[in-house]
C-alpha cells in the first residue's frame, strides 16, 4: 500500500486562537516501507499520524492509500479508520483493561463480526508470532510493559491492516527492553510486509528502524531521507542538531572574501566555503555562516599544522569504548568523540578538525 499525503494541513481552533499542528505536508510512503516521523514533542508528528489513521479530519489537503482518496478537504471525502483498514499501536498500549489478552487481540475481529473459528485461528497465529501464546488468559494488569506492548502489536496486526501506525510504542519500555523490541519490531515489519508509519522523538529509534525518515519541526517537514542521508547531508541546522548522538557541533562564523573566494574562520583556521554550497545556500559575500562538525570529526592530536588548535578540556564523559570531551572554542561549547581514553579534565590538548567533513548552514535556516 502506497501512502500519499498531499498538501496536508491541520489546524486546531481553541479559545486561545488557531493553532496549526501540521502545515502543507507532502510526502509519499512506499509500499512495504518502514517510514519514521521524527521530531521533538509538539512538532505535529502525532497529529499527522492521527490524520493518516482517520482520527482527525484534515483542514486542507488529501490523503491517498494507493489511488483511493481516504480524506480530502476539497472533495469532502472522509473515510473512518474502519473503512481505511488501518491499525494503530499507542504509547500507553491502550489495551482494554476489562478483557483478557485473547479477547483484546480478538476485539477488532469481533467488531468485524468474524466467525468464531476464524477468530480463534487468527488470534492463535499472531500470538504465536509474538510469542504470547501462554498469556492468552491473562488480564492486561498482570502483564509487564514488554508483554503489553506485544499484545498491543498483536491486536493491531491480527486483522491484516493495509497500513500499520505506531505512536511512540517503545517509549514506555526500559532501555534494554527497548533495544530488543526495536530489533524484533523491524524484523516483524519485514516479515508481515505491511506499510508502516512510526512516530518517535528518539533519533536513535528513528535511525535504526526507518527505511526513510521525515524530520518534522513546528508542523513542517524539514527533511526526508534515509538514515545516512540525514546523518551525512543534513539540509539545515535543525536536522543537523537533531539527528545524531552526541549532536553535531554548530559554530557561528563570519564570512570574509579574498580573491573572489569566500572564507570562514575557525579561530586561526581559515576554511574556504565550497562552490556548490555557495550556490545551494545562496551565501552572500558578507554575513554569518554556521559551520557544523560532528564530534567524531574532531580528532585528538596535532595531525595537520593548518587544521589544529590547542584547547583545554572542560569536562569528560566516558562511554567505555569511547570518550566524549567538552571544550570551549571561540567562546562556544564544543564536544569531541575519541577513542583516546587517557584524557583528563583541564588538560591542554591539540585537536584537529577534519575539514572535509564540515557542514555549512545558512543562519536563517535555524
Partner 1 sequence: MKEEKVKIIITLTVAVFMVLFCLVPFIYMVVTSLSKNPDFLSLQSSFGWTFGNYKNIFTARTLHFFEYLRNSIIVSGVSAVVAVFIASLAAYSITRLSLPAKSFILLFTLSMSMFPQISLVGYLFSLMTKLGWINTYPALIFPYIAWILPLSLWILVSYFMQLPKELDKAAIVDGCSTWQILYRVILPVAKPGLFSAALLAFIFAFNEFMFALMFTTDYTARTIPVGIALFQGLHGEIPWGNIMAAATITTIPIVILVLIFQKNIIQGLTRGAVKG
Write out the residues near partner 1 by the rule CB under 8 A.
Answer: 50, 53-55, 80-82, 86-88, 90-98, 107-108, 111-112, 155
Q: How near is the Cβ of 109 to partner 1 at its closest, in Å?
A: 9
Cα–Cα distance measured from residue 227 to residue 209, given in angstroms and rounded to the nearest whole number = 9
Handedness of CA 223, 228, 231, 233 (dihedral sign): negative
Smaller CB separation from partner 1, 162 or 314: 162
Q: How near is the Cβ of 163 to partner 1 at its closest, in Å?
A: 11
Cell of 85: 483498514
For residues 144-165, b (16+ Cβ closer than 10 Å) or e, as one string? eebbbbbbbbbbbbbbebbbbb
Smaller CB separation from partner 1, 137 or 261: 137
Smaller CB separation from partner 1, 97 or 320: 97
Q: How near is the Cβ of 88 to partner 1 at its closest, in Å?
A: 5
Peptide bond into 203 cis (omega under 30): no
Cell of 36: 519514521
Smaller CB separation from partner 1, 114 or 133: 114
Q: How near is the Cβ of 90 to partner 1 at its closest, in Å?
A: 4
Whether 200 and 168 have beta carbons less than 8 Å apart is answered as yes
Whether 343 and 354 have beta carbons less than 8 Å apart is answered as no
Smaller CB separation from partner 1, 108 or 295: 108
Q: How near is the Cβ of 270 to partner 1 at its closest, in Å?
A: 55
Q: How near is the Cβ of 191 to partner 1 at its closest, in Å?
A: 22
Whether 140 and 101 have beta carbons less than 8 Å apart is answered as yes
Smaller CB separation from partner 1, 82 or 272: 82
Collapsing DSSP to helix, strand or coil, 65 comes out as: strand
Burial of 216 (C-beta count, 10 Å sphere; 0-12/13-18/19+): buried
Collapsing DSSP to helix, strand or coil, 338 comes out as: strand
Q: Which of 271, 274, 273 is nearest to 353 (CA)?
A: 271
Q: How near is the Cβ of 106 to partner 1 at its closest, in Å?
A: 10
- Structural element, H or E, at residue 205: helix 203-209
Smaller CB separation from partner 1, 95 or 349: 95
Residue 349's beta-bridge partner residues?
Answer: 311
Smaller CB separation from partner 1, 39 or 54: 54
Label the pairing between strands 163-167 and 359-362.
unpaired
Strand order in the sheet with 298-300: 298-300, 348-353, 308-318, 323-329, 332-338
Q: How near is the Cβ of 38 to partner 1 at its closest, in Å?
A: 21
Cell of 336: 569531541
Q: How near is the Cβ of 139 to partner 1 at its closest, in Å?
A: 12
Smaller CB separation from partner 1, 165 or 264: 165
Smaller CB separation from partner 1, 200 or 335: 200
Q: How near is the Cβ of 84 to partner 1 at its closest, in Å?
A: 9
Label the pairing between strands 348-353 and 17-29.
unpaired
Amino acid at each position: 500500500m502506497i501512502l500519499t499525503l498531499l498538501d496536508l494541513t491541520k489546524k486546531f481552533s481553541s479559545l486561545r486562537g488557531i493553532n496549526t499542528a501540521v502545515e502543507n505536508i507532502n510526502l509519499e510512503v512506499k509500499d512495504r516501507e518502514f517510514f519514521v516521523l521524527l521530531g521533538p514533542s509538539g512538532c505535529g508528528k502525532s497529529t499527522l499520524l492521527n490524520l493518516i489513521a482517520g482520527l482527525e479530519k484534515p483542514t486542507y489537503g488529501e490523503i491517498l492509500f494507493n489511488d483511493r482518496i481516504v480524506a480530502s478537504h476539497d472533495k469532502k471525502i472522509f473515510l473512518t479508520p474502519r473503512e481505511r483498514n488501518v491499525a494503530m499501536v499507542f504509547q500507553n498500549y491502550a489495551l482494554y483493561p476489562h478483557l483478557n489478552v485473547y479477547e483484546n487481540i480478538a476485539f477488532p475481529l469481533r467488531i468485524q463480526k468474524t466467525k468464531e473459528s476464524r477468530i480463534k485461528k487468527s488470534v492463535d497465529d499472531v500470538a504465536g508470532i509474538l510469542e504470547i501464546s501462554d498469556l492468552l488468559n491473562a488480564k492486561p494488569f498482570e502483564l509487564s510493559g514488554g508483554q503489553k506492548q506485544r499484545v498491543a502489536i498483536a491486536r493491531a496486526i491480527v486483522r491484516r491492516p493495509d497500513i500499520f501506525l505506531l505512536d511512540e510504542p517503545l517509549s514506555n519500555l526500559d532501555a534494554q527492553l527497548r533495544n530488543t523490541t526495536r530489533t524484533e519490531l523491524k524484523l516483524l515489519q519485514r516479515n508481515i510486509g505491511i506499510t508502516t508509519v512510526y512516530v518517535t522523538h528518539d533519533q536513535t529509534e528513528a535511525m535504526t528502524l526507518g527505511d526513510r525518515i521525515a524530520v518534522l519541526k513546528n508542523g513542517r517537514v524539514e527533511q526526508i531521507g534515509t538514515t545516512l542521508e540525514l546523518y551525512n547531508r543534513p539540509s539545515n541546522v535543525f536536522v543537523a542538531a537533531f539527528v545524531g548522538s552526541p549532536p553535531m557541533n554548530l559554530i557561528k562564523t563570519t564570512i570574509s572574501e579574498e580573491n573572489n573566494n569566500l572564507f570562514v574562520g575557525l579561530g586561526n583556521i581559515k576554511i574556504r566555503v565550497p562552490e556548490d554550497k555557495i550556490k545551494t545556500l545562496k551565501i552572500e559575500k558578507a554575513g554569518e555562516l554556521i559551520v557544523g562538525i560532528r564530534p567524531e570529526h574532531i580528532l585528538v592530536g596535532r595531525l595537520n599544522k593548518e587544521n589544529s588548535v590547542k584547547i583545554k578540556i572542560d569536562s569528560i564523559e566516558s562511554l567505555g569504548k569511547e570518550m566524549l570531551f567538552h571544550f570551549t572554542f571561540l567562546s562556544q561549547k564544543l564536544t569531541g568523540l575519541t577513542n583516546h581514553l587517557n584524557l583528563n579534565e583541564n588538560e591542554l590538548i591539540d585537536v584537529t578538525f577534519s575539514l572535509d567533513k564540515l557542514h555549512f548552514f545558512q543562519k536563517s535556516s535555524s
